Structure formats: C-alpha cells, structure tokens
Amino acid sequence: MSRMCELCGKKPSTGNNVSHANNKTRRRWLPNLQTVRVATEGGNARHVRVCTRCLRSGAVVKPLVKR
C-alpha cells in the first residue's frame, strides 16, 4: 500500500536534513494520511486512505449511518 492520497494524489516529498556543520543527508516528509469510510456511487461504502487536507475541504463524502 503506497503512502499516497487516493483523491488528490499527494505523495511523500524529499529534501535534506542539514546539521549545524552543514552536513546534508536525505530525508522524506510523509503526508498525513487517514483511513476513512467513503460513500461510493452505488451506495456502498469502502475504506480509502486520504490526506487531512481532502478531509477538511469536504472532498470526502462519508456514508450515512443507519440507526
């Protein structure tokens, strides 16, 4: 399972750790992914890994809870 948002496609980004001695080593910034239940077109629900930006913006439609 890749560390990628299934809605917007956000992936890990790369860069450098830089020490006080200006030594550089590679590092990665991982997206904040959450597993949530999402309503599909057929009325079913499935689990999807999405970033918190998609959750906050309302791009994710959660299924209705039947009580």
Domain of residue 24, residue span = 13-57
Q: Residue 18 domain-assigned?
A: yes
Q: Residue 62 domain-assigned?
A: no
Say which CATH number the domain at 18 has.
Answer: 2.30.170.40
Q: Residue 5 domain-assigned?
A: no
**What per-residue confidence (pLDDT) applies to 67?**
77
Q: Residue 44 domain-assigned?
A: yes
pTM: 0.80
**What per-residue confidence (pLDDT) applies to 55?**
94
Q: Residue 6 domain-assigned?
A: no
Give dist(CA 17, CA 3) in Å, integer.
21
Q: What is the pLDDT of residues 41-65, one digit of tens each?
A: 887 899 999 999 999 999 998 888 7
User: Based on the structure, what is the number of domains in the chain?
Assistant: 1
Give dist(CA 34, CA 16) in Å, integer.
26
Q: What is the pLDDT of residues 1-40, one digit of tens each?
A: 689 999 999 999 999 999 999 999 999 999 999 999 999 8
Q: What is the DSSP string of 1-66?
A: --S--TTT----EEEEEE-TT--EEEEEE---EEEEEEE-TTS-EEEEEEEHHHHHHT---PPPPP
**What per-residue confidence (pLDDT) applies to 57?**
95
